[in-house]
A and B are shown apart, each in its own frame.
Chain A
Amino acid sequence: MKKRMKMLLLLGFCCGMVFGDQNRSDPHDQRVFPVLSINYDYVQMPFEVSLWILLASLMKLGFHLLPVLSGVVPESCLLIVVGLLVGGLIRVMGKNPPVLDSQLFFLCLLPPIILDAGYFLPIRPFTENAGTILTFAVLGTLWNVFFMGAVLYGACRLEAGRLASVDLLSCLLFGSIVSAVDPVAVLAVFEEIHINELLHILVFGESLLNDAVTVVLYHLFEEFAHAGEVTVGDVFLGVVCFFVVALGGVLVGGVYGVLAAFTSRFTSHTRVIEPLFVFLYSYMAYLSAEVFHLSGIMALIACGVVMRPYVEANISHKSYTTIKYFLKMWSSVSETLIFIFLGVSTVAGPHAWNWTFVSITIVLCLLSRVLGVVGLTYIINKYRMVKLSGKDQFIVAYGGLRGAIAFSLAFLLSSDDFPMKDMFLTAIITVIFFTVFVQGMTIRPLVDLLAVKKRKQSKCSINEEIHTQFLEHLLAGIEGVCGHYGHHHWRHKLNRFNKRYIKRCLIGGERSQEPQLISFYNKMELKQALMLLESNSSANLSAGVTAAIPRQRSRKTLNISKEREEEIRKILRGNLQKTRQRLCSYSRHTLKPDAEDDDWSETRLRKQRVEMERRMSHFLTVPALPESPPARRARVESV
């Protein structure tokens, strides 16, 4: 609590400093030498950005220290409330709170979350349910848009008064903005309820893939509203546009993914920058797709999915860990910032409240979602092998949360074409609040109440891997016997094509020939060796290492060959002792590979410290004239 108050006060102070007085230098005045001077303008932008991020992270920290709260209320709700408070505080101080800038949102805040989702997308359940997911994403969203648009228009006609000026096109546009399920909100809420994999991938996959539909419809209706009239040819072009946007996005993502995989093949000598390639190529894929108004989200997902198997075979274990943690970190920060800004923007934005419009919108959102899911499931179940039960349908319908994407899209509308923009914004914010607060908070008790299957916490087991692969081969064979070109047949063909041609290009060295089973096994062994040592952690590390092996050997009658034991020891020695020591890595080009370099680096460290002290003293005795930043940066770099 205290920390939060301090941060808020500091924030207020800094905002006040924005209009603080500057260093007005009067050349004719003989003034005292300023020992301490304040120049806030110089660092204003990065300072404020860092302060926001710091605030967001401290909030996150705070919530997890209060287990009672975080057990009941999902994090997203708490963050929005914090945003509201901060916005209120800023307003009380007389300034205008910042609104969630759409460009900032789409270019900086959204990509990390989507990349994190796409890179770690579980491929097997996704492809097995691809048909269902696509149906929900495309047909479901289309149904939502047109149903909502039409009924809203009807309601506006009936209501008359202020709503009379809302025409069909505006209603349809509003429908297209508000009916898309939001991946950020879904992730934020579903992460915490640990629902079973099938439902998770259905709702989440839908929220990702409906971006293409949303993008097309949004631009379509915006263009129509701008142009003024609609012809049949335009509608047809709209349909073509959908395919172009979706497939184009995937293609762009795929190309960048292949490039990233190919680049990672040659990074064995510069391991330190390996993660950078992954991030840069993915971001470039997103930006390139956005240039052509293709679906950036689908490009990002495609890039992550395509590059992952090859990149992971090529990069070092450390780079893999780095990528994982950076992605999680960035996406977590982004998500926190998005929700806080959503709260702040609510306080800031111009509002035009209209009871009828807002209430009809909320009711329609729920209604169209439920109808859409039930109707589509009825059709889908005819083609599925594992049918979706009523409980599944309920969760899918209830999990259709709206979020910041809807808000940003509405914010981008131009006020000239859409005089009702403020009303739309208010309605959308209300819908977002409703879905996130009401649905987000109640979904966990409902999941428990309905006894929906939760995610099974299964350790990776080599048995499952072997038998699953075995079954896949078996099924592919049986499909061949039946003459039936089904799911397994094509997957088998894709695997063989992958193994024969693609892996050879994109994976460097001898790893290209390594079967999947072996790499899985190696990863598992490494993980277990690390876990074994961490659980046996004692002051004397080497004793722990040698003690662990014979202990395990006696517990289970396992005969590990001598070479295997040596291999295990090497792995443990190489990886584990290093993580215990604080590595001094001064070189920006490589990380120290061995612990033998310790004495050498010790002396270097001492030398560098002496040098640094010498330079610092020199710096302090020279009069501090406002130096040009590049020169100062150069000096620092040379240290």
Chain B
Amino acid sequence: MGSRASSLLREEDIEEIKKETGFSHSQITRLYSRFHSLDKGENGALSREDFQRIPELAINPLGDRIINAFFPEGEDQANFRGFMRTLAHFRPVEDNEKNKDLTSGEPLNSRTNKLLFAFRLYDLDRDDKISRDELLQVLRMMVGVNISDEQLGSIADRTIQEADTNGDMCISFSEFIKVLEKVDVEQKMSIRFLH
């Protein structure tokens, strides 16, 4: 799909990605070479199989969901822009950015956007609520096969009971934020990208 030349990174692209995501020039080129090495089909975009080839994702309980997060709604190919956009959520929050005048909305790596990313991983059907079933699915993935459904069910019930403030037996995004207010999300959801 497309010639070799179009899959190489152009300066304008780098500038645009920099503005959108906040990564530095060297970080973008470094991540581009990683993108390129993952792209076995050499077609400028990653497919699901490319991701599944990564050993860490294969053994990760949340592997499938993470892979899905890279693909926009309904598509099967992830281009470099999308790749970077997803990874931008994990950039460390810098102090000077906290006070910067936000002209184009919040930066992708703000605390709210990080939490929104995590929330979307729970909430598969995108109805902005984590229902009991969605929670059960995630718990099952993390806990393994040895625990009975019933025990898992009581954990899920307990979790929802703790977080739910408006009584709809689901966790909405605002309830999710509230529950995690004591957790240091800025540190827990950041990766130190090498310069």
Contacts and interface: CB of A to CB of B under 8 A. Distances in A.
A493 to B, nearest CB: 9
Contacts of B142: 466, 469-470, 473, 515, 517
Interface string A450-478: 00000010100111101111111111111
A474 B121 contact: yes
B64 to A, nearest CB: 10
Contacts of A518: 143, 147, 151, 155
B184 A484 contact: no
Given A484-B191, A561-B150, A563-B150, A477 B63 contact: yes
A484 B31 CA distance: 10
A556 B189 contact: no
A456 B189 contact: no
Nearest to A467: B180
A481 B55 CA distance: 9
B183 A480 contact: no
B182 interface: yes
A478 B83 CA distance: 11
B143 A515 contact: yes
B54 A475 contact: no
Contacts of A633: none
Interface in B146-195: 146-147, 150-151, 154-155, 157-159, 161-163, 179-180, 182-194
B90 A466 contact: no
Task: Please indicate which of the listed interface residues A472, A481, A482, A518 has the most CB atoms of chain B within 10 Å of its own CB.
Answer: A481
Contacts of B54: 480-481
A477 B60 contact: yes
Contacts of A466: 139, 142, 159
Interface in B41-78: 51, 54-57, 59-63, 66, 70
A474 B60 CA distance: 8
A308 interface: no
A473 B62 contact: yes
Contacts of B51: 481
B188 A463 contact: no
A385 interface: yes
Contacts of B118: 467, 470-471, 474
A498 B105 CA distance: 43
A180 B31 CA distance: 44
B59 A496 contact: yes
Nearest to A493: B56
Contacts of A458: 182
B22 interface: no
Given A458-B182, A473-B62, A496-B59, A463 B162 contact: yes
> Interface range on chain B: under 10, 10 to 19, 20 to 34, or 35 or more?
35 or more
> Interface range on chain A: under 10, 10 to 19, 20 to 34, or 35 or more?
35 or more
A478 B65 CA distance: 11
Contacts, number: 134
Nearest to A386: B187
B144 interface: yes
A539 B192 CA distance: 59
A483 interface: yes
B188 A478 contact: no
A474 B182 CA distance: 19
B116 interface: no
A560 interface: yes
A387 interface: yes
B92 interface: yes
B14 interface: no
A387 B96 CA distance: 12
B163 A468 contact: no
A515 B146 CA distance: 9
A444 interface: no
A564 B154 contact: yes
A478 B90 contact: yes
A480 B186 contact: no
A521 B55 CA distance: 31
Contacts of B146: 513-515
A468 B60 contact: no
Interface string A123-142: 00000100000000000000
A471 B60 CA distance: 12
Contact of A473 (B60, B87, B147, B182): B60
Contacts of B31: 482
A564 B156 CA distance: 14
A208 B57 CA distance: 38
A515 B138 CA distance: 14
A521 B162 CA distance: 13
B36 to A, nearest CB: 11
Contact of B162 (A462, A472, A476): A462
Task: Please indicate which of the listed interface residues A386, A387, A556 has the most CB atoms of chain B within 10 Å of its own CB.
Answer: A386
Contacts of B95: 387
B100 interface: no
Contact of B159 (A462, A556, A559, A564): A462
A515 to B, nearest CB: 5
A156 B1 CA distance: 79
A309 B137 CA distance: 27
Contact of B189 (A463, A475, A564): A475
A517 B155 contact: yes
Nearest to B150: A561
A559 to B, nearest CB: 8
A489 interface: yes
Nearest to B46: A481
Contacts of A561: 150, 154
A481 B187 contact: no
B4 interface: no
B191 A560 contact: no
A486 interface: yes
A471 B189 CA distance: 7
B2 to A, nearest CB: 23
B34 interface: yes
Given A470-B62, A517-B142, A563-B150, A478 B87 contact: yes
Given A385-B92, A385-B187, A470-B118, A521 B182 contact: no
A202 to B, nearest CB: 14
B183 A468 contact: yes
16 contacts: A385-B186, A386-B186, A462-B155, A462-B158, A463-B162, A467-B179, A468-B183, A470-B142, A472-B188, A474-B121, A487-B192, A515-B143, A518-B151, A521-B158, A556-B161, A561-B150
Given A463-B179, A470-B142, 5 more contacts: A387-B95, A474-B66, A474-B121, A489-B56, A515-B142
Interface of B: 31, 34, 37-38, 51, 54-57, 59-63, 66, 70, 87, 90, 92, 95, 118, 121-122, 138-139, 142-144, 146-147, 150-151, 154-155, 157-159, 161-163, 179-180, 182-194
Instruction: Enumerate the 4 nearest inter-chain pairs by beta-carbon distance, A residue then B residue, closest first.
Output: A480-B56, A477-B66, A463-B179, A477-B60
